[in-house]
Chains A and B, each alone.
Chain A
Amino acid sequence: MEPLIRVDNIRYTYPAGTGKPALTDVSLSIGAGEYVAIVGANGSGKSTLARHLNALLVPDQGDVWVNGWNTRDRAHIRDIRRTVGMVFQVPDNQIVATIVEDDVAFGPENLGIPEDELPARVREALAAVGLEEHGHRASHLLSAGQKQRLAIAAALAMRPLCLVLDEATAMLDPAGKADLLRIVRRLHRSGTTIVAVTHSMSEALEADRVIVLAEGRIVMDGTPAQVFADAESLERYGLDVPPAARLAHLLAAHWPDFPRHLLDAEALADAVCRHLSLGAHVRTTHPLAATDTGGQPVLPPDASGQAPYIALEDVHYTYLAGTPLETRALRGVSMDIRPGETIAIIGPTGSGKSTLLQHLNGLLRPHAGRARVLGVDLTDPRADVRALRRRVGLVFQQPEAQLFERYAGDDVAFGPLAFGSSLEQARERVRRAMEAVGLPFETYKDRLTLTLSGGERRRLALAGVLALEPQVLVLDEPTAGLDPRGRNDLLALLRRWRDADRAIVFSSHNMDDVALLADRVYIIAEGRIAHAAPVREAFSAPESLVGFGLGLPTAMTFAQALARRGCPIPTDLLTLEELAHAIVRLADERIRV
């Protein structure tokens, strides 16, 4: 039988690009009803491939066939595009109309669906994503998660056979991601073919089939079990295995007979329990290093005696006060951050994380309450916030928004030059900052910022802030949208940067980042600090986290799965390495008994 989509040996080079092909010799077939995940490093060609699937791009060589139509055939372009619907990454950039209903109707209207039929189509599509109550609302007032659901509804209104999601969950918080995945799973069950591009290996596990792209070529294609069995290759392509497989590998390093190809928490927990009871007599082959803390955060020096770098006391902030759009973003936030600490701020979308972080370098000033940062009183209207900004570096949520020069080198130099460095001094600082983030100065300084990949832009933005040589580094969701290798590199970089005189404050939706990096956690909800605790403690009360729409670090999810099976494992472990360590020790203790 002819597959729904057949990609036949295609090659594509962007006309305005570097001249390097974005796709080379790509062939694949996708059958009706399949659920395919496409993974790959930043810039590996995932979006380019996705855009070939509904004729948004047409290959330079080779052919793409959708439901029997060649995408070169302009006569069938509508048939192709109504067969394969698309959802993109940035929620705001794919909404056409100002009212939710109108936006959903946009596709069917273009197809010329009879006007009597349109309202039913719109209702049906909105119901499929749970937005039926919101039909008359203004589309720009929806939350990010709702906007992405709207984008899916807009595609569904054309009744496609296949839905392509290009990193559709990348900009959502854990609750929004979970909602979206649930909707996609339901669509798949009811027969829609799904092609999902993602950086999250756990999301890739949802699929029946995983395709790995590297430098524009398909390098792996198989079931999740097959693909994720080959950890070495994945790492070479800048990817990672799903967390369960990582843990399985860690355990297998100690117990050679431990199954390596486990993908989800439940199967893993079963295997561990089996191993603990059956295999108790098997001695570990490698004795464990005494303190193999891997990525665990270094404990801060006892800083309680020192004056805090940052002291907020009952800080309030209201956007657009006195207008109909007034938003009370902060409603009484207090916190103390001391030298040497790394602090994570977590909370659901819209809880005020970004607003809070912008207070730390005086971009925003408290409307009520007190705020002292590095000795500067922000409530004092004469405070020199500009001088403060050199000592408190802020990296924003969207790296695109903070690159404003044409050439990478100039962009990093923006800060030093603005603060009056000479060209010579600036060059030295720029060189150091760029080397620190892994962008060699000579290679990158003359690159056009517009042509950098997502990961490179993120690093460049960080370099621009590091070039100021700040004392406190503030990062707003530093790892969102990065591929696994980029994320690991960034976390490693931040760990290296820390020392006793510096402090890091960051926000994140990714609990593993928090577990890997933070000493203490502040949970913020509706503009108030709901909970503040050392990281281990914060995660050991999981009920409160789930209540705020937040997840748990993967290690803790596994530990809980084990605990449910009666395995006496501590549940406050932060990293997979710690968990593996604890499991192996548990086995060792049993042998001794």
Chain B
Amino acid sequence: MSTEAVVQSTPARKVVIAGVMGALAIFLGWTHLGFIPWVAGAALTIMHVPVIIGAVLEGPIVGTAIGLIFGLFSLLQATLAPTGPVDVWFQNPVISVLPRLFIGVVAWLGYKALRKVNEPLALAVAGILGTLTNTVLVLGTIGLFGHLPWAALPPIAIANGLPEAVLAAILTVAVVVAWKRIETGARKSRM
């Protein structure tokens, strides 16, 4: 059930949503607010969630644009303010930029396929698919460049990618449901 509005998309809307969601990705990365420490010194990231939200709200082109900002930012950050050895790999735009261009498109496709069935479900799927796109493509390009042996990749994909997908799904659903004032029918206030 949804009382969702049909907001007409205009050039201004597309540019602004892309800009502010790009800003959010930059902000999350810059302040490290978007990193959640995980096992063994690794960190989970939710920096790509703005890309997914933007794609769901404004479509694949906006999603790709936010992905581009996200990618360029990680390229710059890896180059100008590196914090770990892995950053050296991300100085290669094929690893840091290219994979990010596909997050939005895949998330949007997932959302579009399922939104008629159940909107919150579609949002969760968008969050998961978007995240997995990021994980698989980034690790894939890292493998291609031979930075890591192929055998090392699947465990990383599972250890990082899956929990990140869950976090992204939770955030995407929470934000978009609140923004579009979608009635989830579940509980109301706890009070």
Contact = CB atoms under 8 A, between A and B. Distances in A.
A15 B191 contact: no
Nearest to B16: A96
Nearest to A427: B191
10 contacts: A15-B5, A15-B7, A16-B3, A16-B5, A407-B188, A407-B189, A407-B190, A409-B191, A445-B188, A446-B189
A82 to B, nearest CB: 15
Interface string A430-467: 11000000000100011010110000000000000000
Nearest to A412: B191
A251 B174 CA distance: 57
Contact of B181 (A410, A441, A446, A448): A448
Contacts of A14: 5
Interface string A406-419: 11111011000000
Nearest to A407: B189
A445 B181 contact: no
**In the A-B complex, the 9 residue pairs with the closest CB atoms:** A409-B191, A409-B189, A16-B5, A407-B189, A15-B5, A446-B188, A445-B189, A445-B191, A446-B189
Contacts of B3: 16
B168 to A, nearest CB: 19
A410 B5 contact: no
A233 to B, nearest CB: 34
Interface residues of B, number: 13
Interface string B151-191: 00000000000000000000000000011110000001111
B189 A423 contact: no
Contact of B189 (A16, A410, A450, A451): A410
B191 A413 contact: yes
Nearest to A444: B189
A16 B8 CA distance: 12
User: Secondary structure of the B side of the interface?
Assistant: loop
A406 B190 contact: no
A258 to B, nearest CB: 52
Interface of B: 3-7, 178-181, 188-191
Contacts of B190: 407, 409-410, 413, 423
B4 A430 contact: no
Contacts of A16: 3-5, 7, 180-181
Central interface residue in A407, A408, A451, by most chain B CB within 10 Å: A407
Central interface residue in A406, A423, A445, A450, by most chain B CB within 10 Å: A406
A16 B191 CA distance: 25
Contacts of A410: 189-191
A215 B173 CA distance: 34
Given A407-B188, A408-B189, A409-B191, A450 B181 contact: yes
A426 interface: yes
A422 to B, nearest CB: 12
Interface in A490-509: none
A450 B191 contact: no
A148 B62 CA distance: 30
A426 B178 CA distance: 24
Contacts of A427: 191
A406 B178 contact: yes
A332 to B, nearest CB: 32
Contacts of B4: 16
Contacts of B180: 16
A551 to B, nearest CB: 37
B3 to A, nearest CB: 7
A587 B191 CA distance: 58
A413 B191 CA distance: 8
Interface in A503-553: none
A423 B5 CA distance: 35
A408 B3 CA distance: 20
B189 A15 contact: no
Contacts of B191: 407, 409-410, 412-413, 426-427, 430-431, 441, 445
A273 to B, nearest CB: 56
Interface in A172-223: none
Given A407-B188, A410-B189, A430-B191, A450 B178 contact: yes
Contacts of A407: 188-191
Central interface residue in B3, B190, B191, by most chain A CB within 10 Å: B191
B136 to A, nearest CB: 33
Given A408-B189, A445-B189, 16 more contacts: A14-B5, A15-B7, A16-B4, A16-B180, A16-B181, A409-B191, A412-B191, A427-B191, A431-B191, A441-B191, A445-B188, A446-B189, A448-B178, A450-B178, A450-B181, A451-B181
A441 B191 CA distance: 9
A153 B69 CA distance: 31
Contacts of A446: 188-189
A408 B191 CA distance: 9
Nearest to B174: A406
